Amino acid sequence: MTAARLVEIDTPLGPAHAHVSRPPRARGTVVLTHGASGRLSGADLLAARDGLVGAGWAVAFVQQAWGVAGRRMPPRPVPQDEAWLPIVETLRSGRGKLPGPLVLSGKSNGARVACRTAANLGADGVLCLSFPLHPPGKPEVSRADELRLPVAAEIPLHVIQGERDPFGTPGEVRAELADPAYVTAVKGEHTIRATGPLAEAAVAFVESLL
């Protein structure tokens, strides 16, 4: 796989780290971030990154500032989004500007950030891994409004969801969206174990944007 280059980016919450893999003649860029663990080590995240880079896409694998600082929980949505914006803006500007189309992607909490900021950042697509539609056992505490933000802005959206995800099954996620084709169900829970199908679905979605 293409060797990654570390880019440190200043944000209102401190420095964030972007590990940028850029194949020759990259077909576009995916900015991919973690969930509430703050770590980039999950097999599902690594499978998505490797599949996308292998398909010729530049991937900025981002550890957000609060994760770099070792905090155990993400900040509230507003400060988290305010710290996310300069990360993507930096990656898309200057001498090392990454090419379009631009896809924002994240796992769980990171998927929420991608949905909330896609319109402001001019994203061409949003790819959600394990979108946390609701806390386990609390379907009444819904985050469907966040999930639908890209669709409302006419930005293509795709969700890859574990069949037994306690934060929302594929069926629950489909019920909140106008088109069931927006969702791919794969084996797993909130951590997706079926990394091969996950990577295939991720690549299929970004390729559909070309």
pLDDT band of residue 66 (cuts 50, 70, 90) is: very high
10 or 96, greater pLDDT: 10
Distance CA 40, CA 32 (A): 10
Range 22-43 average pLDDT: 97
Tell me the per-residue pLDDT of 168-182, one tens digit each, with 9 for 90 and over. 999 999 999 999 999
Backbone phi, then psi, for 156, in 5-degree steps?
Answer: -55, 135
The domains located in the chain, with CATH, are 5-207 (3.40.50.1820)
Buried b (16+ CB within 10 A) or exposed e, 59-95: bbbbbbbbbbeeeeebbeeeebeebbeebbebbbeee
Structure confidence by residue, pLDDT tens digits, 188-205:
999 999 999 999 999 999
3-class DSSP assignment, residue 199? helix
- The H-assigned helical ranges of the chain are 43-54, 65-68, 77-91, 109-121, 144-147, 149-152, 170-175, 195-207
pLDDT of residue 106 exceeding 90, the answer is yes
CA distance 83 to 77: 10
Q: Are the CB atoms for 170 and 161 separated by under 8 Å?
A: yes
pLDDT digits (tens, 9 = 90+) for 122-144: 999 999 999 999 999 999 999 99
φ/ψ (deg, to 5) at 57: -100, 140
State residue 96's pLDDT score. 85
**Do the strands 14-21 and 58-63 form a parallel or antiparallel pair, or are they unpaired?**
antiparallel
Q: What is the pLDDT of residue 95?
A: 86
Q: What is the pLDDT of residue 72?
A: 86
| Distance (Å, whole) CA 60 – CA 88 | 9
Q: What confidence score (pLDDT) does residue 111 get?
A: 99
Q: Percent of the chain scored above 70 by pLDDT?
A: 99
Q: How many CB atoms lie within 10 A of CB 153?
A: 15
Contacts of 201 (CB under 8 A, 6+ apart): 158, 160, 184, 186
Whether 75 shows a pLDDT value over 90: the answer reads: yes
Whole-structure pTM value: 0.97
| Average predicted confidence (pLDDT) for the chain | 97
Q: Give the C-alpha separation, 146 to 157, whole Å.
A: 12
Identify the pLDDT of residue 3.
83
Query: Given a cut of 90, is residue 2 above it in pLDDT?
Result: no
